[in-house]
C-alpha cells in the first residue's frame, strides 16, 4: 500500500521520523532504522533461537525465512490448524506494519486471520517492521487507510508499545497478555519497496 501522506521532501521526512522515534520510545518500545530485511533478520536472530514470521509477511516475502535460517535460526510460520499452539513458546516474532503514525508512535497492523493475530498476541518479543515511506504524521492518516476498507471483514490494530497494566494501585507493569517487548524497525533502504506488497 502507499501512505495517505504526500512526499514532502527529505527534511520533512527526517522531522517526521524523529518524532516517531520519540513517541515510540515514550511508549516503551525501541526504535531503529535499518537498511533492509537482512538487518531485520540479523536483529531477530540476535534475540532468540526460534523466530515466528506472521503468515501474511511470509507469503509476501518468503526470502525472510531463508535469511533467518542463514543465521541458524528455526523459523515458525503458524498454520491453519492450531496456530496458537504453533507459536506458544516462540520468543521472537516479526510482523509487517501497514504504516507507522508519528503522532503517537503507533504501528498499524492489519491481521484479519487468526494465524496472523496469534503472532502479535502470544510471542514475547515483537518486531514491527514498517517502510520509511509508510511513516505518516497523524491518526487521521490511519483513518484514511481504514475508511475505504469499511464494510469488508477485517481487523487492524494501532499498536503502541508492549502490553501493560496499571490495574493494581495504578502501578505501571509491562507485559500482561501481549508482548513484553516491542521493537519498531523502519526500513530506509531500497528493498523497503519489497515490503509494500505485504500490507
Partner 1 sequence: MSELRSFDERYATALADPDVRGGLTAFQRGWRDSRDAAIADLEAQEGRSFDELRAELAAIKDGVLADWEHHLDSFTDNATAAGAEVVRVATPGEANALITARMQAAGADLMVKGKSMVSEEIGLNGHLEAAGIPPVETDLGEWILQLAAETPSHLVMPAIHKRKEVIAELFERVLKRPFPPDDIDRMVKVARTELRERFLASSVGLSGANALIAEGGSIMLVCNEGNNRMSVALPKLHVVTAGIEKLIPTYADAMKQVRLLGRSATGQPITVYTNFLTGPRPGQEQLIILLDNGRTAMAEDPDVAAALRCIRCGACADVCPPYGVVGGHAFGHVYTGAIGLVNTSFHHGIEAAAGPQSLCVSCGACATVCPVDIPLPVQILEVRENVARAGEAGNAGRVTRLALRAFQHPRLVDLGMRAVGVATTPVRRGGVTALPSALTARGPLAERIGWRTPPAVPPRPARDTLRRGRLEEPPRLADQPLAGRKVQLFLQCVSDRMAPDIPIAAAKLLRAAGAQVTVPRDQHCCGLPAYDSGEQDTAKSMVRQTMEALADGADVVTPASSCLAMLGHDAPYLLRDDLAEVERAQELAGRTYDLISYLTSGPGRLPAGSLDDGDRTPVTVHRFCQASNTLGRTDAIEAFLRDVAGVPVVPLPEASECCGFGGSTSVRNPELSAGILDRKLGCVDQTASSVLITDNPGCILHLRGGVHASGREVEVLHLAEYLVRRLPGATASPQER
Name residue, grid cell 531500497. 190
Which one among 117, 119, 131, 192 touches partner 1, defined by CB under 8 A? 117
Contact region with partner 1 (CB under 8 A), list: 8-16, 71-79, 91-99, 149-157: 149-157
H or E element that contains 164: strand 164-165
Residue 18 beta carbon to partner 1: minimum distance, rounded to whole angstroms = 15
23 to 29, 75, 116: CA distances (angstroms): 9, 31, 25
Which one among 2, 175, 193, 197 touches partner 1, defined by CB under 8 A? 175
CA distance 113 to 2: 22
Helix (H/G/I), strand (E/B), else coil: 68: helix
Residues 6 or more apart whose Cβ sits within 8 Å of residue 111: 54, 56, 95, 117, 119, 120, 155, 156, 157
Which one among 38, 113, 191, 196 touches partner 1, defined by CB under 8 A? 113
Which one among 6, 9, 11, 177 touches partner 1, defined by CB under 8 A? 177
* Near partner 1 in 45-104, by CB under 8 A: 84, 103-104
CA distance 133 to 30: 19
Q: Could you say whether residue 155 binds partner 1 (CB under 8 A)?
A: yes
Report the DSSP beta bridge partners of residue 110.
156
Q: Could you say whether residue 152 binds partner 1 (CB under 8 A)?
A: yes
Q: Which residues bind partner 1 (CB under 8 A)?
A: 23, 26-27, 84, 103-104, 106, 112-114, 117-118, 120-121, 138-140, 142-144, 146-147, 149-171, 173, 175-179
Amino acid at each position: 500500500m502507499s501512505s495517505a501522506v504526500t512526499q514532502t521532501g527529505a527534511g520533512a521526512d527526517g522531522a517526521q521520523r524523529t518524532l516517531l522515534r520519540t513517541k515510540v520510545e515514550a511508549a516503551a518500545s525501541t526504535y531503529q532504522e535499518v537498511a533492509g530485511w537482512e538487518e531485520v533478520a540479523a536483529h531477530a536472530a540476535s534475540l532468540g533461537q526460534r523466530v515466528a514470521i506472521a503468515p501474511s509477511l511470509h507469503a509476501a516475502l518468503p526470502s525472510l525465512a531463508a535469511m533467518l535460517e542463514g543465521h541458524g535460526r528455526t523459523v515458525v510460520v503458524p498454520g491453519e490448524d492450531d496456530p496458537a499452539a504453533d507459536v506458544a513458546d516462540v520468543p521472537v516474532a516479526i510482523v509487517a506494519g501497514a504504516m507507522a503514525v508519528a503522532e503517537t508512535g503507533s504501528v498499524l497492523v492489519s491481521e484479519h486471520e487468526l494465524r496472523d493475530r496469534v503472532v502479535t498476541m502470544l510471542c514475547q518479543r515483537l518486531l514491527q517492521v514498517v517502510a520509511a515511506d509508510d511513516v505518516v504524521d497523524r491518526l487521521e492518516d490511519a483513518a484514511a487507510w481504514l475508511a475505504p476498507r469499511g464494510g469488508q471483514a477485517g481487523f487492524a490494530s494501532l499498536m503502541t508499545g508492549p502490553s501493560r497494566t496499571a490495574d493494581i494501585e495504578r502501578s505501571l507493569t509491562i507485559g500482561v497478555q501481549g508482548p513484553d517487548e516491542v521493537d519498531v524497525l523502519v526500513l530506509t533502504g531500497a528493498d523497503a519497496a519489497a515490503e509494500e506488497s505485504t500490507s
